[in-house]
Structure 1
Amino acid sequence: MSTTYDVIVIGSGHNGLVCGAYLAKSGLKTLVLERREIVGGAAVTEEFTPGFRASRFSYVMSLLHPRVIRDLELDTFGLEVLPANDLFCPLGGDDYIVFSDDMRKTQAEFARFSRHDAEIYPQFARYLEESAAVVRQLLFETPVDPVRRSWRDFKKSASLLWRHRRIGDRAYRLVDLLTQSAVDYLSAWFENDTIKSVLAYYASIGTFAGPRSPGTAYVIMHHLMGEHQGAGGWGFVRGGMGAITAAIARSGARFGMEIVTQAPVAEVLVSAGRVTGVRTADGRDFSARAVASNAAATTLFRRLIAPEHLPAELLREIDTFRTFSTAFKMNVAAHQPPRYRAFDAARQGFRYPTYVHIAPGIDYLERAYDDAKYGWYSRKPFVTPVVPTIVDDSLAPAGKHVINIFGGHAPYKLRDGASWADEKRNLTKAVLDVIDEMAPGFSGQVIEAETLVAPDLEAIVGLPQGHIFHGELSADQLFWQRPAPHWADYRTPITGLHQCGSSTHPGGGVSGIPGHNAAREIAKDWKRLQAPRAL
């Protein structure tokens, strides 16, 4: 195979593939290098026990942007979305609450707990959607650098402000979302704890924070910005999440994009301040005028580039970029899915709750965080059990099921020198105990369970400290500060080296937007990158 390309992409996660596919579509000779033996990064479908396949890491589709789907024609290449049913939240005993895309259905559910909250919910939903609409306008923007004093940078900032001049007073809503806790934000609207906890749950997904932590209000909106069918825009993909990355890879292949697996990049090669290519762990050199890194920013700047090529200020920012994770993921093979005591198919209007949140109350969520805050896993974790095999029979033997369980909290590092090798089985039991409380006897249906904690997520797919977003979604780590001030525009101090992963704007989730935006910026720079290198 060739060793000289226009562009090399480091990592075949969904953003790397999206970036590569767009660049190949524009006519550039593009190579994607993947460390593992399978394409897809965290969006993969793998067999975790004989006969059972699972979306092993990311587990539901919500944020994959319609523009990316349309531009790369992913429907043509096998992407089939299966909407999840209404969100079912068991509360203990026979009690429950349902959260639905159907406004009237959600109001009826809320009315069982608070007439006031039911009546105000449509106004809240409109308010949050208007705020989400503002953020959606910014998703495809390249972050500006508001403090640079050049005329060129001033024009970029002025142009951004002019394009979004109609945002007006809605900008103040973003300040509230970025600074308030989920509880404070929701308490301005709702009075009932159960109703608040249904929405505050989203603020805990993938974050090392509790619902009372400042800034968590924004995370609610981040998770609910999906534009697909299903509760909160969440749904399954036929064949698992690996079907998304397989479709992107096939789309790119028709334009000549090449992918090489089992090719871990060990070093980004730099000469006279310009990228010249990469070197793999087995000593192979590949040359290119541009390199796009889908690796986490901490990996790129601290492991793949010699420090003499980078300014000390950037390295300090990267060293303080917060990635500490408390997320865990379980993949369970079972004879039967959880049978929730509170679920009644006739009453709910769907045959089985494929999408469930278990966290009955704000205090429950906060106590789960309290355990992690002091260096231990949650005694009673919050968990999201989803059962894709109810709608997708391609993942398990006939009559059997796969249950994906995502939850928190399980710190990357445990206190007092404790080891996950010793404690993982205890975390697994704690999770199954929580589900058994709502679905008695489920643990007895388990055939096999794979539990992945933050160090596993880091070791297997390179998530920094296991963080599913590559870093916290907080005000100090968003837009022009993601991943570092002055370098949030997908570029780096090294000419021709770009970033295209979740460490960049707009952050994590299987959206494809960082990959799309990085490809656009590389295309803008391409004429300059083709200029002869100085001797």
Structure 2
Amino acid sequence: TPPKLPDVGLKEALSMRAMLTPVRKHGTRGLVDLLRVVPMMMPELMDEWFESELLRGAVSAAGIHHITLGPFAAATGYNLLHQHIYSDCVFHNALFVKGGTGNLAETLLKSAEYAGVDIRTRSTVQSIDVANGVCSGVTLEGGETITAAKVVSGLDPTHTFIRLVGPAELNPSFFTQVQNIKYRGSAVRIHFALNSLPGIKGVSQDQMGTVFSISPSIEYLERAADAAKYGRISEDPYVEFTIPSVINPDFAPEGKHVLSATVQYAPYHLRNQTWSEELKVQLKNNVVRVLENYIHGFSDQIKSFAVFSPLDLEDKFGLTEGNLNHGEMTLDQFFFMRPTMSSAQYKSPIENLYLCGPGTHPGGGLHGTNGFNAAHEILKQ
């Protein structure tokens, strides 16, 4: 758990010591390397390690995941490190949940029910009930009120505080802090239903169950990011894709396959245009054209497709501005500044209301650390 500044007590100091233990094992050199890499831009870091432009581009791509910035932006080194905290030092780690990510949720569901937890789905929360700075429960869309000693939100900070609590119940200073959180979603998910297993140049069939990154050079990535600066979709986007039906055959009928792509850059905030169906088709065509360079006859294999823009991710999944990490993973929004200085310890300024989603430290990813830390903070109360 990040320390609460400026009041750093003994418990906070011990907590920070535990967090720094892995770095301390590498001695002074490890600490210096960490402090150097965090604020660096990817080309600077790559210059120290690699000569091959293909390798430089592939590694740099890991430093721009789900941010609006290109690899030449400062502190993309930090995003690179964050993306690989739990990857066992493997770039673009190709670890998959057997049966799909939904199976992880099902496993957690069964474990929680075994422990006696009452879980209700399809129960949309209309408001988080707060009076005089104290949270007492939630109200569902149907009007039902559920009282609780503690309320823990896995939604992003804006959704939690602005939409569900409401500005009237927030301290003006805290309201401004939440309003200033940067989301700037710029990634689109596109799912292709294919008539057959695509043939990727230079890749054998037994190598298909991995993550593929279309990032031929650092300059290619930077040009793709340039479009987002001016509120446009990339003509030649950065594409990262998997073929999940190779690992999980149940994802598609026998002989058919699914290709799932994450595409950057396609900003939530567009200039002089909106996220229309026509624009989504245009982006899909840009992606198909890029993939055709590596998958011969890809366009002929497409049976159907679905495009989820940042606006779709916001409307359908409650992700503010379509950011999967509940806020950009940038140097000004990490550790004791995530999501804000006054709520970085998972406990919000509102009594009995806590956060546990990726908008808190240590950010996004399928690791569960946010919830683990939040649970420990709640148990301390």
Per-residue CA shift, 1:252-276, capped at 9, x if unaligned?
0101112212211111112333211
Q: 1:257 aligns with which of 101, 106, 117?
A: 117
Residues 382-421 of structure 1: pairs in structure 2 closer than 5 A = 382-421=238-277
Are residues 469 and 277 of structure 1, via their aligned partners in 2, closer, same or farther at CA, if it must alter by over 3 Å? same
Structure showing greater relative contact order (alpha-carbon pairs closer than 8 Å, 6 or more residues apart): 1
Aligned to 1:116: none
Q: 2:368 aligns with which of 512, 515, 521?
A: 512
Q: 2:357 aligns with which of 487, 498, 501?
A: 501
Query: Any conservation in 1 of the 2:135–2:352 contact (CA below 8 Å)?
Result: yes
**Quick one: which amino acid aligns to residue 83 of structure 2?**
H
Q: 2:4 aligns with which of 123, 139, 145?
A: 145
Aligned to 1:269: 129
Distance 1:370 1:445 in 2: 31
Tell me, yes or no, if structure 1 residue 294 matches structure 2 residue 154.
Answer: yes
**Quick one: which amino acid aligns to residue 242 of structure 2?**
V
SS in 2 for 1:423: helix
Moved more, 467-476 or 270-279: 270-279
Aligned to 2:53: 193
SS in 1 for 2:341: coil
**How far 1:203 moved relative to its partner?**
1.2
**Quick one: which amino acid aligns to residue 34 of structure 2?**
L
**How far 1:162 moved relative to its partner?**
4.3
Residues 29-428 of structure 1: pairs in structure 2 closer than 5 A = 142-148=1-7, 153-163=8-18, 164=20, 167=24, 169=28, 170-227=30-87, 232-344=92-204, 350-352=206-208, 354-428=210-284
Query: Any conservation in 2 of the 1:265–1:281 contact (CA below 8 Å)?
Result: yes
Query: Any conservation in 1 of the 2:3–2:13 contact (CA below 8 Å)?
Result: no
SS in 1 for 2:342: coil
Are residues 201 and 227 of structure 1, via their aligned partners in 2, closer, same or farther at CA, if it must alter by over 3 Å? closer
Are residues 351 and 269 of structure 1, via their aligned partners in 2, closer, same or farther at CA, if it must alter by over 3 Å? closer
Are residues 202 and 433 of structure 1, via their aligned partners in 2, closer, same or farther at CA, if it must alter by over 3 Å? same
Are residues 358 and 495 of structure 1, via their aligned partners in 2, closer, same or farther at CA, if it must alter by over 3 Å? same
**How far 1:369 moved relative to its partner?**
0.3
SS in 1 for 2:57: helix
SS in 2 for 1:417: coil
Q: 1:468 aligns with which of 324, 330, 333?
A: 324
Distance 1:371 1:256 in 2: 50
Are residues 197 and 227 of structure 1, via their aligned partners in 2, closer, same or farther at CA, if it must alter by over 3 Å? closer
TM-score of the pair, normalised by structure 1:
0.67
Per-residue CA shift, 1:210-234, capped at 9, x if unaligned?
1111111122222223347976433
TM-score of the pair, normalised by structure 2:
0.93
SS in 2 for 1:416: coil
Residues 5-16 of structure 1: pairs in structure 2 closer than 5 A = none
SS in 2 for 1:372: helix
Per-residue CA shift, 1:383-439, capped at 9, x if unaligned?
112112112211111111011111201111221134433311000111011111111
**How far 1:382 moved relative to its partner?**
1.1
Query: Any conservation in 2 of the 1:266–1:279 contact (CA below 8 Å)?
Result: yes
Unaligned runs of 5+ residues in structure 2 are none
Query: Any conservation in 2 of the 1:225–1:232 contact (CA below 8 Å)?
Result: no
SS in 1 for 2:176: helix
**Quick one: which amino acid aligns to residue 246 of structure 2?**
I
Q: 2:338 aligns with which of 482, 486, 489?
A: 482
SS in 1 for 2:213: coil
Are residues 468 and 370 of structure 1, via their aligned partners in 2, closer, same or farther at CA, if it must alter by over 3 Å? same
Distance 1:392 1:301 in 2: 38
Query: Any conservation in 2 of the 1:228–1:235 contact (CA below 8 Å)?
Result: no
Distance 2:166 2:348 in 1: 14
Query: Any conservation in 2 of the 1:338–1:435 contact (CA below 8 Å)?
Result: no
Per-residue CA shift, 1:119-151, capped at 9, x if unaligned?
xxxxxxxxxxxxxxxxxxxxxxx1111313xxx
Distance 2:321 2:51 in 1: 37
Query: Any conservation in 1 of the 2:3–2:16 contact (CA below 8 Å)?
Result: no
Aligned to 1:71: none
SS in 1 for 2:212: coil
Are residues 430 and 227 of structure 1, via their aligned partners in 2, closer, same or farther at CA, if it must alter by over 3 Å? closer
**How far 1:308 moved relative to its partner?**
3.5
Tell me the number of residue pairs that the alignment of Structure 1 and Structure 2 aligns.
376
